[in-house]
Structure 1
Amino acid sequence: MNINLKGRKAIVTGSTAGIGRAIVEGLARAGASVVVNGRGEERVGKAVREIRQLFPESEIDGVVADLATAEGAASFFKQVEGADILINNLGTAKPKSFDELTDADWLDLFQINVLSGVRMTRHYLPKMVKRGWGRVVFISSESALAIPKEMIDYGMTKTAQLAISRGVAELVGGTGVTVNSVLPGPTRSEIMSNWMKSGAESQGITQAAAEQQFLDTTRPTSLINRFATTEEVANMVVYVCSEQASATTGTALRVDGGIVRSIA
């Protein structure tokens, strides 16, 4: 399959590293111009320089903005007028037991993982509809379906993304705009790798051993029995953004290694 996104402009939120960075590279490889986003000038600048070197024929820009805030989103909108593709990738997780989670913890994570995507979609979606073509993708998680007891707040935000994605897809049905969610499983992203590295060091084992331990004890239903790569997740996202995926909308596409024991 030859995916060609030349002439398309994409925004990938939270994309200086990890899955977001891999998605930027995948879209650039397919010919799209891409806007990289992060909160820090240094990280955004470094990512833009590196990606421009990899894909000199693609237009790569960077916008520094904290999209977990209304002010940050407003700043972003002033710098990027429109886009054909919006990847709502910004997200984080902060493992904490349920009884220790404060109201502020719940609200802060909701702002980052959910409202950032709501703000971005609300702003860029009408212009896509007007043009008669667009792609919106929410990067959710298998934790949206299999809520982790150690991160109930995280699972809640990821389930919320599925509801928003499906609802917006219903809203724009028949317009040429598709809206989907992609659900990664355990992935060697920056955040996950840092967790595994920290756990490995505390136990005196290798990171690979820590990953296997995590799978065995926390995600034993994995069928690939390994962490996915960020590129494997990005491959699904790039496909969903393509012309070839024009009949795929309103759905949740899993890149979870078979963790969720369901055929639907």
Structure 2
Amino acid sequence: MALWTLFGLAAGKATTAWPREGGNDGQDGVLGMPRHDPEACREGCGECAEICPTRAIEAREGGLAIDYGRCVVCQLCTEVCPTGAMEPSRDWAFGVRERGDLVRADRGPRPPDRPAPERRAFRRSLHIRHVDAGSCNGCESELQALNNPFYNLHRLGIFFTASPRFADLLLVTGPVTVAMREPLLAAYEAMPEPRWVMAAGTCAVSGGISGGNDACGTGLDGVLPVDLYLPGCPPNPAAIMEALLMFLDRAPQRVEGGRIGV
């Protein structure tokens, strides 16, 4: 018997039981999207909006508007807030089906509940083609972790494929640079129907830090029809897994109307 086999038997099972209840998601101590308490906000302050590098926070009359789809989780807003209205959190599970669910305003009604589209035939098996459309490779590092022994994405029936012709879901990272726009569209056109698209990371959702210049777009909207949005810079492996399970109707969507834990 090979020595590495003996080491493996001695170490025991490395794969987490998560997302089953009581399993370790591997994100202890990891900061997520900042939480906002409008009651603690000081009228006319706006310091968090001024320092936000991606304009994810906008100071409006009557309160703040926060676009989590633009948030890079830098925590600068929580550091400068004089009242603690913006505070750190562990809220990293931000996958949504509709872009509008990533936007929160202090005033206005909560959006009505929407029925999730049925993907019953794909619940037990999903094949993903990943396209890097100009990423800094932060998202790619997290994607690689999905196949390590701890997360072991394959146990959930979710696989990455090298060919778009065998893919059900196109997972895109990066703000969609000019150079990658045509290859991205070619990959999408090569996929069989039904086909879906996931914007993974803040760059793919809204352009992120570098979006909107001569070389970069502002994410996937307007380029491809997006079925799943997951902001983060980068989103961690557990967030990616949870978003994929939510997409397959195997987990609930935790964020609606920019409100967490609904």
Under TM normalisation by the shorter chain, which class is it?
0.3 to 0.5
TM-score normalized by the length of structure 1: 0.32
Pick the structure with more strand per residue.
Answer: 2
Pick the structure with more helix per residue.
Answer: 1
TM-score normalized by the length of structure 2: 0.32
Higher relative contact order (CA closer than 8 Å, sequence separation 6+): 2
